[in-house]
Amino acid sequence: MKRSWWLGGCVLALVVIVAATAVAPSWAQEGTETTAVDPRFGAIEAFWEPEAAADLSVGWDRILFLWHEIQPTGPEDWNTLHVLEEWLVDAEANGRTVVGLLKSTPLWAAVDEPYAGVPRGLYLPLDDPENLWANYVRKVAAYYGARGVHHWIVWNEPDIAPGVYGYEFGGSMQDYYRLLQVTYLVMKEADSQAVIHLGGITYWHDPTYLRRFLQMVANDPNAAANNYYFDVLSQHIYFRPETVTEIVGESYAIQQEVGINPPKPVWINETNARPSLDVAWPVQVLRFHLDAEMQAWYLVQAYALGFAAGAERVGFYKLIDIHLEPGGESWGLLRPDKSQRPAYGAYKTMVAQLGGFTGPVTVQETADFAIVTFPKEDGLVRVLWAKKLAAVTLAVPALADAAQVVGHAGHTQDIASVDGSYLLTLAGARCYVECDIGGPPIYLVERGVTAVQAANLPTAPAPLAVATITPTPLIPATPTPTDTPSPTPTLTPSPAATPSPTTTPTPTMTPMTTPLPTITASPTTQLTKEPVRETAVAPTAAPVPVTSLPVGWWLLGSGVILGVFLLLIGRRQR
């Protein structure tokens, strides 16, 4: 064998190995080291994928405890295979709080209809054998309390009326209150650590439901002595980030108005904006058209605004979609085939950046952008995003000489302060038909900031530049973004000097503790183009720009050419 043959073969093999190992890591892996578990950040039904739950540092999970599955044929049944013990063991081992959802009346126990029906004997004394719900709840509390489950949600979405999609409880409001009373009194007696949650309220099915219900509770002369029969108020909030502020704020305000003081903590048990335009899982929908990357943006915005509004915990619905037919409405961080949506990486980055925040979260908003500030033990993290179609350039007040900018997918970039500010450009939003979600959020991370400095943080200035674009939202056939974010951050910070105060005045507002209403977003991140007119909902994959190909592939191509060239030289010398 000639030496050039041998050399050509070695070069070719070596380049293939280098290319295989030099491919840039996926967006789900960049900038997301192992993170401590923060119990405030949840993902619903995380138990289905325990490895992913651990990878994401999920702090709390919700598991369905379906009465008709646990006691399918009578009160002597006890099906422990409905909620597997290994789920509970894994949750405890990984620091996840398990929250059980109690619902679904079996046929043998229902007054009328199964599943949504009121349990027989509900108004009988708690120790009466014919109070079937009391007997069931007592057994659940004793058995699962010994296995570490102490949080219990009493039914699901009782505000949805019969005949409406999502309907789950067929009783009256008074019946639901009795259900809550029985659960609270029995659970507290059987398990001293029990925490009772109101069933998640959907709000938009009946915006007056919570007020009417809490007024009924407050009017009960026995309620105050029994802690109003609940410990946590639960909300389900979807699709529009600005409603998070409104609904959480109202949940606290109503409690105070009816006399429940101090108000019970509010959890957002479910939040999401499912992507109908996910190139890997297209779904035909009538409303809320958005792509998979926008779901990732929503996730960060909803959590940030939720904590700023005072939510004690927030849960994403859900970690994975299972048992779903093709074309079914899909919500998960993982698709049914377990592939990761962009929201998976966004969740992981969010927990890494915001987990462990130590003080009150504050928000500052204008019509064009939002800034949510999270104090940390070692500094300060601000979450920023543009709220409309136009990109926004801001001179953000600096508390340190330098900071790190982290994209929502985990990409990082160092930035220096100039004249006391960081000059940042926030990419604009995108919309299809509706314009509800802001643009890609970023994290501005400053280390070594003291609590005193953070408390005296100047508020955000007026934007230095905002492009003006009139959106024309349309249903797309091909989403603008690819399913995988580009390997460079959507934010491009620049350390250039800020304009002088003579041309750009800097307000001296004090930090706000009460969030202002948000303003919804507008289409596309390309400021030089109008939104492209599209004709159908079903998407196809957008081409990947050549410039976004990982360096490993360029090495592979170059190496193959070089190796073949050397092989040909060797062949000619034979």
Give whole-number Cα distances, 501 to 93, 145, 497, in Å: 55, 62, 12
User: What pLDDT, on a 0 to 100 scale, did the predictor assign at position 475?
Assistant: 55
In a domain, 225, yes or no: yes
Contact 90, 134 (CB under 8 A): no
Joined tokens for residue 204? 């938009």
Q: Is the pLDDT of residue 467 over 60?
A: no
Say which range, 117-126, 385-394, 464-473, 487-496, has the weakest mean pLDDT.
Answer: 487-496
- What pLDDT score does 47 carry? 98
Q: How many domains would you assign to the chain?
A: 1
More confident residue, 514 or 347: 347
Q: What is the pLDDT of residues 58-96, one digit of tens each?
A: 999 999 999 999 999 999 999 999 999 999 999 999 999
Over 80: is that where the pLDDT of 26 sits? Answer: no
- 179 is a domain residue: yes
For tokens 């109101």, name the residue: 198
Residue 92, both tokens: 């405890």
Predicted local distance difference test score (pLDDT) of residue 457: 76
b/e sequence 54-73, b meaning 16+ C-beta within 10 Å: bbbbbbbbbbbbbbbebbee
| Residues with Cβ within 8 Å of residue 245, at least 6 apart in sequence | 305, 308, 309, 363, 515, 516, 517, 518
Whether the per-residue pLDDT at 525 is higher than 90: the answer is: no
Check pLDDT > 50 for residue 527: no
Q: Quick count: other Cβ atoms within 10 Å of Cβ 167?
A: 16
Of 49, 101, 30, the residue nearest 70 (C-alpha): 101
Copy the structure tokens of residue 409: 């997918």
pLDDT at residue 466, as a whole number: 64
Position 193 in a domain? yes
Percent of the chain whose predicted confidence (pLDDT) is above 70: 74
Residue-wise over 210-243: b if at least 16 C-beta within 10 A, else e?
bbebbeebbeeeebeeeebbbbbbbbbbbbbbbb
- Least confident range from 218-227, 245-254, 342-351, 451-460: namely 451-460
Length of the chain: 574
Task: Enumerate residues 6+ apart whose C-beta is below 8 A from 322.
Answer: 48, 336
As a whole number of angstroms, the distance between CA 139 and CA 203 comes to 32
Residue 409 lies in a domain: no
**How far is the first Cα of the chain from the last one, in angstroms, to the nearest whole number?**
9
- Is 374's pLDDT higher than 90? yes
Residue 461's pLDDT band (boundaries 50, 70, 90)?
low
Check which CATH number belongs to the domain holding 252 and give it.
3.20.20.80
Q: Choose between 278 and 484: higher pLDDT.
A: 278
Q: Is pLDDT at 55 greater than 90 in this prediction?
A: yes
Q: What long-range pairs does 167-170 form, CB within 8 A, spacing at least 24?
A: 167/116, 168/103, 168/115, 168/116, 169/103, 169/116, 169/199, 170/112, 170/113, 170/116, 170/117, 170/118
CA distance 103 to 67: 6
Q: What is the pLDDT of residue 9?
A: 42
Token duo for residue 245: 């502020």
For residue 99, which of 133, 59, 138, 70 has the smallest C-alpha distance? Answer: 59
Residue 203: which domain range?
59-270
Nearest to 380 by CA among 443, 424, 453, 446: 446
Per residue in 293-337, pLDDT (tens digit) is: 999 999 999 999 999 999 999 999 999 999 899 889 999 999 999
Share of the chain above pLDDT 90, in %: 70
Cβ–Cβ under 8 Å, residues 436 and 471: no
Strand locations in 188-333, DSSP E? 195-198, 233-238, 266-272, 313-316
Task: Say whether 33 sits in a helix, a strand or coil.
Answer: coil
pTM for the whole structure: 0.78
Q: Is residue 180 a part of any domain in this protein?
A: yes
Mean pLDDT, range 425-435, rounded to an integer: 93
Distance CA 365, CA 297 (A): 17
The pLDDT confidence band at residue 456, using thresholds 50, 70 and 90, is confident
Residue 159: pLDDT band (50, 70, 90) is very high
pLDDT at 175 over 80: yes
Beta strands per DSSP E along 231-287: 233-238, 266-272
Highest mean pLDDT among 283-292, 348-357, 560-569: 348-357
CA angle 20, 24, 30 (to 5 degrees): 135
User: How far is it, in rounded angstroms, from Cα 133 to Cα 229?
Assistant: 16
The answer to whether position 265 is within a domain reads yes
Residue 345: which of 334, 337, 355 has the closest Cα? Answer: 334
Q: Determine contact, residues 199/157, Cβ cutoff 8 Å.
A: yes
Q: Is 248 a residue whose pLDDT tops 70?
A: yes
Rg over alpha carbons for the chain, rounded to the nearest Å, is 27
Q: What average pLDDT is seen over the chain?
A: 81
Nearest one of 99, 44, 115, 108 to 74, comparing CA atoms: 108
| pLDDT above 80: residue 478 | no
Let me know if residue 77 belongs to a domain. Answer: yes
The stretch 396-413 carries a mean pLDDT of: 96
What is the pLDDT at residue 530? 27
406: in domain: no
Q: In what order do the strands lie in the sheet with 465-466?
A: 421-426, 392-397, 465-466
The residues near 517 (Cβ < 8 Å, ≥ 6 apart) are: 242, 245, 246, 365
Is residue 15 over pLDDT 50?
no
Q: Is the pLDDT of residue 565 over 50?
A: no
pLDDT at 506: 29
Q: How far apart are CA 36 and CA 52, in angstroms?
A: 15
